[in-house]
Each structure stands twice: as structure tokens, then as C-alpha cells.
A and B are shown apart, each in its own frame.
Chain A
Amino acid sequence: MTTATTPETTESHLSREEVEALAHPKQSPRARIGIVASYVGMGLIVLYCIIPFYWMIVSSLRLPTMGRSTDFLPNPASIENYKGVFSGVNNFGRALINSLIISGTTTVLTLFFGIVAAYALARLAFRGKAAVLWIIMACSMFPLIILIPPLLKMFSSTAPFEWFPYWVNTYQAVIIPGLSFGLPLAVWNLTAFFKQMPVELEQAAMVDGCTPAVAFRKVILPLAAPGVFTTAIIVFIGSWNEFLVALTFLQAPEKQTATVAISKFTGTTGFDTPYGTIMAAGVIVTVPLLLAVLAFQRRIVAGLTAGGVK
């Protein structure tokens, strides 16, 4: 009689609907409005992010003569701008190859140095670790412009650097300063990633007779591949998007990277700002990055959250 807590008794007092309602106490009308509002908000965020990009795509699909049109759809649609991008004047194919060489080399070098350094920072106990972290952090903070005056002077063999080879319009003139922002980023990301991996992995390997170096190469590195890959993408994008250094040191059209080439487009018509061609080139430069980013978005977000974002 007093055993009201048994399920049978509960069912006799409450209907199925009431039980359901009790099971989901949060579904009040107010909460529902909140959820709807949050979806509307998310829709607005997405629109905010992609509408300007939509404008870039739309503008690239107009006729070259209609660069400034404000129609919300291209009328008529045309791929003339995309042809114009690769025409002789703009030499954009070459620029893309230059970008690929420079970003690729920067990424590979950065990873090569960054992986070993990050492993040491993540796994080993040694004096001066905080100092090293601060140096690397400071390196990702300082303004790139401070490298420009002395390096420009040096790479252009201006007095007192007559002994230095003329490095303006060479890849290494951009790759070397590029390491100064790629390396901190890589070390930071990879350190965070290595720290996530359980130390028991190496311990198990060593119990099985591996030296620390072998344990690193055969156990840690393969497992860290996703982290290394993410870091590679982030560094590559950073390097691909770099503008100031490339603009300063790559003055010859045949050596320019894609970002510099876009900023100097003369277009197919030769006068006025060739917006259509610029937008088409912008889309070409951006779409591969976007595909990579969308494919690996979870990992990239994790990598970016790890710190140092330049």
C-alpha cells in the first residue's frame, strides 16, 4: 500500500504522455524558441561567412567587360575570365607553380625540423624548456616587416652586403623568411599533438627492446601521422597565403607567387582594374585550399586551437 515507488504503481498514476513529458523536462516552449533561434543564428553565421565569397565566384563568372556589374547572378554566365587568368599576359600558371614550389619546400623543411623539436618538447624533461617555448612563441609573435629592411638590403647585394649573392627573385629569398613563421606554428601544433599520445606507447616499445629513437620512428611517428598531416596543411596554407615577403623579394613576373601575381594583374583588357580576372584567379587560388580545409576540418580546427596562429 505504501510501496508507491514500484513501477506498477507509478504507471497507474501517470499516463504514458506524462512520463514522456517528465523524461524531457527541457522541452518547454521557451527552450524550443531558443533552439529555433540558435538555428537561425547558425544560418546567419554561415551566410555571413560565405556571402562575400559567393560574390567573388559570381563576379568571376561574368564577361570580362562586366567586372563591376552588381547583378546577383552572372548574366550572361561566362568562363572567359578563367581563360584570361592563364593567358600570356598574366602567366598565372607559372605563378601557381612558383607558389607550389615555395609552399611545398617551406612545409617540408618546417616539418623536418619541427617534428624532432616538438617531440623533445612534448616528451623529454630538461632544463630550459620554458625558455625554449618562449623563444618559439616570441618567434611567432614578431612582425614579419622587421625582416624586410635588412634582408632586402642583403638579398639585393647592396652595400655593405656586396659579398652576398643576389637573391632577389629567387625561391630561397622567400622560403627562408617563411620558416620564421612556419616553424613556430609547426612546433606548437606538433607538441600539442605528441602530448596527447599516451607515453605508454613508447614504454611498451622499449620494454620490447626498442631504443628511444627506434620507438619514435616505428611507433610514434606512424601514429602521429594525422597530427603531422594537419600541421602540414596549416603551414602550407600559411605559406601559400603569405604576401608581404613574396611581394618584396619576388619582383620578376616569372618568379612571382600566386598571391603576388593576383595583386598585379593587368587583365585581358589591359586598362581599368580587371576585377573579373582577379576574382577568377582568386577562386582558383582558394578552391584547392577550401577543399583541403573542408575535408580535414575537424583536424584543422583542433590544430589551430592548439595555439600560435599567425
Chain B
Amino acid sequence: MATATAEARNVPAATDDGHKHKKNALSDGQGRLAWMLLAPTLLVIIVVAGIPVVMSIRESFFTTNSGVDPATGMVAGGEKFVGLQNFTNIFAGENIVKGTWGSMDRFWNAFINTTMFTIVCVLLETVLGVAMALIMAKAFRGRGIVRAGILVPWAIPTIVSALMWKLIFDEAGVMNRILGTQILWLADTGASFWAIVIADVWKTAPFIGLLTLAGLQTIPAEVYEAAKVDGASAWQQFVRITLPMVKPTLVVAVLFRTLDTLRMFDLPYGMVGVGKYRVETLSIFAYQEATQTRYGPAAAYAIILFIYVLLVAFLFVRVLGADVIGDSAPPKTKKKKRRGGSDEARTGEVAPLEAMGGAH
């Protein structure tokens, strides 16, 4: 790869005679070949994602005419253009509900729920995940067992783990028995929020731990030895060496977790149900609107969520420098990395892959 891409750039610049193609079959007509190979995938993406998103935007400017036939559930009336009404309605305060954060429009209630879930879950997952990674990095043996254990929560379908936690958090369930409490975890109370947080953290903290461990393993031991010689305490080593060096991996992992939590659906749906305002997320609200044939508002909420996700992703990339497409670094950097094996280049997403993937 490195040679091919580097030469592809150099050859046309160096010589412009008719024989340049013969010199390197690898770079011959790469552009056209690449687009030919990419065309099916891009086409599929346009069809399965691009067009529906555009349709969703269109949908958000329309509303379904009232007149639902209760017998069949089919819409009788068709639709009409309402402009931005689906968006402005969220400020109209026509649909006030009472959730954890006081009485407000159902949209804002869901919006705040989504945000709070994301902040609390991702924060706890990151702290717990990094702690797990530090523990795993210390151990010499038994990593395989831990890795196997860590993949258990990841492999269980989220809806199944939601039902599993529903049983655990049942009012007569094992959680109340262990705690010796009578908390109504799943009755749309303030505790429901924390029940879902616990379930989400359980499923994904080990995962962040796994990704962080991959980042940790790329830090050369000499750095720590040098720090010890200079008299750095364990905490100083963690803050000054471990965190900065693991940051590229961690930021990407946290970004993906954040985006994932922003669209949370399965856990609140499975554990508490729909129409429960203390745990209703934007995805659940939009889902319920759509299944009640209120496609316009549903699309509007989904689009707001989409914009929210884009904003968060943008902030991560710009402010925290998340290197999400780390593979697209200029070919020359790649070449150095491969040939020289220099350690300062071993950051970003490629490094963990090499660390974990290169071992088999």
C-alpha cells in the first residue's frame, strides 16, 4: 500500500512521457478502478441511507391528515405541507408532560433525558473502562479469560440484556433483595433512570476498557522507566503519560459510545417501556410518533437528533481532535510508520489495530 500510493503521486510529477503507466502497474489508472470498486458500496449507501434521510427531511415538512380508520389503522386522509410547523411545535408547549426535569414539552423532556443519559452513561463508562484497562495492562497472565469475560456483555443482544435487567430490577427482584430495599426501579420513577444507566454501563464499560487497553499497549515501557527515574508518582505517571498517550484511542472510543448513547432505544424500551416520560429518549419518542402514523413530527424529531449527533461528532473531531478516519492519513506517514516503526507515529486508530491484530 505504502509503496503503491507513494509512487502514484511521484511518478506523474517526475516523468510525463507516455511510458509512465508501464512503470507501475499498481498505480495504473487507479482513480478509475477505485471508483469502479467503490461504486456499488456508494450506490447502496445512497439508496439505504442517503435517500431515506432526504425523504425524512421532506417528511418533516408535512403532516398526516387526521382521520385514522380505527379498524384497519390505515390513514384515510393523505398528507399536507405545513412548512416548519413540526419543528416550531416543540416550542408551542402543546404537549406538556411531567418527567424528572419538571413539566415541559414532551420533546424537550425526551431531549434532556437523552442528553442526561449520554452524559452520565459515557462518563461512568469511561472512568470504569479506563480503570479496567489499567488493571488488565498490569497483569501478565489471564488476559485471555478477562477478554472473554468482557465480550459477554457485548455479545448479548441489547434487548435481551434489557429484559435481563428488567428481571434483576423487578420490585421483588434480586437487586432489591441484595440492597435490602423496596425501590420501584421500573415504575417510571427517578430510579428508572439509574436502572437504565447501570444496565448501559454494564454492557459497554468493559468494551471501552478493551479499546483503551489496546491503546495502553502501544505505550513503550521506557517512558514509564524514565518517569520513575525522574521521581514521578504513580498519579503523575497516569496523568502525564498514560492519559495523553492513550487519548487518541480513548477519544474515538468515547465518541462512538456518545453517538451510540444519543440514539439509545432498546434499553428504555425493554426495561421500562414506551410513553414513560422519565426515561423516554428521542429515539423512543420518534418511534412512537412514527408508529402512530404521525410521520411528520417523528421525522422532525429524528432530524433534530441527527443534527444533534452531527454537532457532537463535529465537536469531538474539532475540539478533542478525534481521529475518526485515522486510516486516511497521508501515505507518506504510513510509509514511515511501516518502514521505520517509529514509536511516535504509533498513535491513532491504526496503532491499536496493529497491537491487537498483529498478535495472531
Contacts and interface: CB of A to CB of B under 8 A. Distances in A.
A binds B: yes
B146 interface: yes
A306 B309 CA distance: 21
A113 B41 contact: yes
A75 B104 CA distance: 48
Interface in A70-112: 70
Contact of A248 (B25, B177, B290): B290
Interface residues of A, number: 112
A125 B255 CA distance: 28
Interface in B269-290: 269-270, 282-283, 286-287, 289-290
Contacts of B127: none
Nearest to A300: B151
A237 B151 CA distance: 12
Contact of B9 (A55, A125, A141, A202): A125
Contacts of A120: 33-35, 37-38
Nearest to B355: A305
Nearest to A216: B37
B239 interface: no
Contacts of B358: 196
Interface string A3-34: 00000000000000000000000000000001
A126 B48 contact: no
B138 A34 contact: yes
* Interface residues of B, dominant DSSP: helix
Contacts of A136: 41, 45
Contact of A243 (B27, B30, B132, B157): B157
A145 B152 contact: no
B359 interface: yes
B112 interface: no
B149 A46 contact: yes
Contacts of B173: 68, 70
A212 B26 contact: yes
Given A45-B132, A117-B40, A126-B34, A307 B349 contact: yes
A117 B291 CA distance: 35
B298 A286 contact: no
A301 B265 contact: no
A143 B41 contact: no
B244 to A, nearest CB: 19
A224 interface: no
B30 A126 contact: yes
Interface in A212-247: 212, 226, 237, 240-241, 243-244
A142 B53 contact: yes
B357 A278 contact: no
Given A117-B38, A199-B4, A285 B160 contact: yes
A282 interface: yes
A169 interface: no
Contacts of A113: 40-41, 44
A1 interface: no
A269 interface: no
B4 A143 contact: no
B232 interface: no
Contacts of A154: 55
A304 interface: yes
A125 B5 contact: yes
Contacts of B360: 226, 298-299, 302
A65 interface: no
Interface of A: 34-35, 37-39, 41-42, 45-46, 48-50, 52-53, 55-56, 59, 67-68, 70, 113-114, 116-117, 119-127, 129-130, 132-137, 139, 141-154, 158-160, 176-177, 179-180, 183-184, 187, 191-196, 199, 202-203, 206, 212, 226, 237, 240-241, 243-244, 248, 259, 262-263, 273, 275, 278-279, 282, 285-286, 289-290, 293-294, 297-310
Given A147-B48, A184-B45, A305-B353, 4 more contacts: A38-B135, A50-B152, A124-B31, A262-B160
Please give me the 8 A-B residue pairs with the lowest Cβ-Cβ distance, nearest first.
A302-B357, A150-B55, A41-B135, A38-B138, A117-B41, A120-B37, A143-B263, A125-B8
15 contacts: A38-B138, A49-B202, A124-B31, A125-B331, A141-B309, A146-B302, A199-B1, A203-B26, A243-B269, A244-B287, A259-B157, A282-B160, A294-B148, A294-B151, A304-B207
